[in-house]
Each structure stands twice: as C-alpha cells, then as structure tokens.
Structure 1
Amino acid sequence: MSFLSLDFVSTVRATRSGPVDTLSDAEGMTAWAREHAPELGLKPGFTASEELRQETVRLRQAVRALFARAVAPEPPSRADASDLPAFEEALALVNATALAAPTAPQLLWDGEPAVTTVSTAGPSARLRGRLAAAAVEFLASPERTLLRTCQAPRCVLYFVKEHPRQEWCSTACGNRARAARHYREHKK
C-alpha cells in the first residue's frame, strides 16, 4: 500500500548517523520529485528551484503537523515534533496550497474517448498542489484511523497499520525494538 502523502512526510527519516532530510537541498528535491513525477504531474526534465524546495518543506511540515494531530493521543514523530506549525496554521496552509493548483478533467479522443486531469498551474504550484491534495485525501479517508508513529528506537516515520498486531513501520524497526527491549531486560 503506497500513499503519496506518506512518502512525502517520510522525506524526513533517521539513520544510524542521525536525521536525514531528502529535501535538504534543491538537488534532493529534484530527485525526489522526479521519482514521483507521474503522481505529481511533472515532466521528466523537472528541476526544483531553491524557492520551490523551501515552499515544499514548509508544506511538508504542515502535513506532518496534521499527521501528528491524526495520531493523537499517541505521540507524534520524534523527528520534528517541536518544530511543527500550530494545527490551525498547518490546516490553512494545506488547504490553500491545494486550492492554488486547481485541476479539471479533460476529454481525450484518440480512437477511444478517455479522461485525463490537467492543471493550468505552473510546475511549482502543481507539485505542491498535488502533495496538498494527496494529504487532504489521505487524512479524510478511512486509512487515517490506521495511521501510526513508529516507536522503534531512532525511527521517526509514520506508517499505516496493515494488520492488527503491527507495531512498527518495518521488520527492521521491529527487530531493533525487540533487541533494545532484550538489552534493557538483561542489563539489570
């Protein structure tokens, strides 16, 4: 199960050497956007500007604030809980960003009729608009109730709980959490 909004908020993650931000520079932003080009409505040669990167990071922080609210009363991701905007500010930014890049269905007729979705917005607004719309759709969906924060040591990711006993975002995090618990229990 893949959700664009989960991929987006997961551009902040932790490794053994510390936190990693995929969107820390325009090159990283460009690479991430190209990986998601079809979902974002981008052309293959897309290149992010520093301004777009900064606006996208601001949007990501707003989406992460909404995710933190969605998992409450569980704790939010430890990655940036203290750096997130207030709920009202985050909600307003996500809604305004989605509204700034309207899309409309268009009929294509090349032998057989087909529908495509187009936007008259430029690539920057379109990218951020699609990310905001994906967050809106996810947070309004039934899957939102399955959103969790991984509580494994050093993990800062959100995930969608796929089965009742799932406690971590991945097998690796589960192994790390069990190893840490074993260490704590046998250290005494």
Structure 2
Amino acid sequence: MYASEPPTGEPLPLDLVNTRPLSGGSRTDLLGTPDRLAAWVARQGDRLGEETSRMDEDAEAAGPALAEADLAPVHAVRDHTEAALRALMAGRRPPEAALRGLADAQRAAPAVRAPVWDGTAVVAPPRRTGPLGVRLAALLAESAAALLADPAVARVRECAADDCVLLFLPAHPRRRWCSPTRCGNRVRVARHYRRRKES
C-alpha cells in the first residue's frame, strides 16, 4: 500500500509508528535505511524543531547526517511507542519495558537550555549532544511521552480497513480510516463491488 513514503500529519509519535505499515500481509519498514530516515526527518520539518536544523548543520560539516548506527535508537523508540499505545488502546497498562525505554532514550541525550548571547539578546534554545540517531530518538521519545500522558491518547484509533495497521487521532468521533482518500475509498469501493456481486 505504501511504496516508499510514510503518511504524515498525525501527532509525531503516531507518524513514527506509522512508518511500519502492512504491505502484502507483512509489516514494511519505511525507515529501514539512513536515507529513508533522513527523508522522513525532512518531511517532518519544523515538527522536530531545533534538532532538525542541528542535523542539517552537522550534515554540511561532516557529510551524510544519518548513518546505519543511527537507525537502532530510532527504531527502539518506535517499538516502545507502539507497544505503549497499543496497550492503552486495548485498555491495558503499557509494558514497563516500553515506558522505561522511552525514558532511557530521553536520558541518552537530554535537552539542555544553555543561555548564549546572540549579539542582541540572550537565547536558550534546547540543545542535545551525542550521535544524531540518539539525539533524534531522545526528541521522539519526549514527544511520545507527552502524547502518552495527554488525555487525548484515549482517542487514538487503528484504521478500520482490514489490511491497515496505521494509527490516527481523530478530530471527529466518526472517523474510521487513517485517510479517507486512501483506506476510506478502498473500503467503499470494495463494499460497492461486493453489493453488486451479491445482487
């Protein structure tokens, strides 16, 4: 269903989890290479804030911004986020390992607001240190923790299409699909053909 670009537009933790859609009956990793992860980071743009511009600066200074070693910490945060969300969706307590994993990812590259003079004023943007993947994972884990603690997490749903596992946070309580144009249309078309065949 998704050849190469993961869907975006949901809260950041859901967009991260949605980078493993079903394709041909099995889950596909749309962040399986450094290039794919870099493309996803670019698509998320300003949602990743200061860390994205730091990654761009690092790329200009030292070549490719993301390497193979940067994938594991991001994948771990994605797995922990999905485990916690799916447990909550099922009315269960999130696994302790998932919650601890998200906390550990944040501890690996904490955001520090070190005040500096920019020539006209004191500014204190959050800065993280360490490898790019660790910094990105910390930022994503922070976002996941914020969503998990938000009462809105109770509204997170899985797409109602049989062959889709994507998660979304509906703005309207009647929303059933990750995308009305993607899964919604496919389900409606299939339903239409099924009715025609039965009549």
TM range, normalised to the smaller chain? 0.7 to 0.9
* 1:59 shift after superposition: 2.3
* Residue identity matched to 2:16: F
In the other structure, the counterpart of 1:89 is: 97
**Contact 1:37-1:43 at 8 Å conserved across structures:** no
Name segments (4+ residues, structure 1) moved above 6 Å: none
- Specify which of 102, 106, 113 is matched with residue 110 of structure 2: 102
Do the aligned partners of residues 54 and 125 (structure 1) sit closer, same or farther apart at CA in structure 2, a change above 3 Å counting? closer
* Residue identity matched to 1:60: R
* 1:136 shift after superposition: 0.4
Aligned: 1:166 with 2:184: no
CA distance in 1, matches of 2:18, 2:162: 16
Q: How does 1:127-146 map to 2 (within 5 A)?
A: 127-146=136-155
Name which structure has the greater RCO, CA cutoff 8 Å, separation 6+.
1
**Contact 2:70-2:132 at 8 Å conserved across structures:** no
CA distance in 1, matches of 2:138, 2:158: 25
- Specify which of 13, 16, 41 is matched with residue 5 of structure 1: 13
Aligned: 1:179 with 2:189: yes
**Contact 2:71-2:133 at 8 Å conserved across structures:** no
- What TM-score do the two structures reach when normalised by structure 1? 0.79
Aligned: 1:50 with 2:58: no
CA distance in 1, matches of 2:157, 2:82: 12
Q: How does 1:26-65 map to 2 (within 5 A)?
A: 26-36=34-44, 38=46, 39=48, 41=51, 42-44=54-56, 45=59, 47-65=65-83
In the other structure, the counterpart of 2:29 is: 21
CA distance in 2, matches of 1:67, 1:185: 36
* 1:55 shift after superposition: 3.0
The structure where helix makes up a greater share of residues is 2
The structure where strand makes up a greater share of residues is 1
CA RMSD of aligned residues (A): 2.7
- What TM-score do the two structures reach when normalised by structure 2? 0.75
Percent of aligned pairs with the same residue? Answer: 31
- Specify which of 84, 89, 92 is matched with residue 66 of structure 1: 84
**Contact 2:10-2:169 at 8 Å conserved across structures:** no
* 1:147 shift after superposition: 0.7
CA distance in 2, matches of 1:2, 1:183: 31
5+ residue gaps, structure 2, are 1-8
Structure 1 range deviating more: 29-38 or 137-146: 29-38
* 1:15 shift after superposition: 5.2
5+ residue gaps, structure 1, are 75-85
Between the two proteins, the alignment pairs up a number of residues equal to: 177
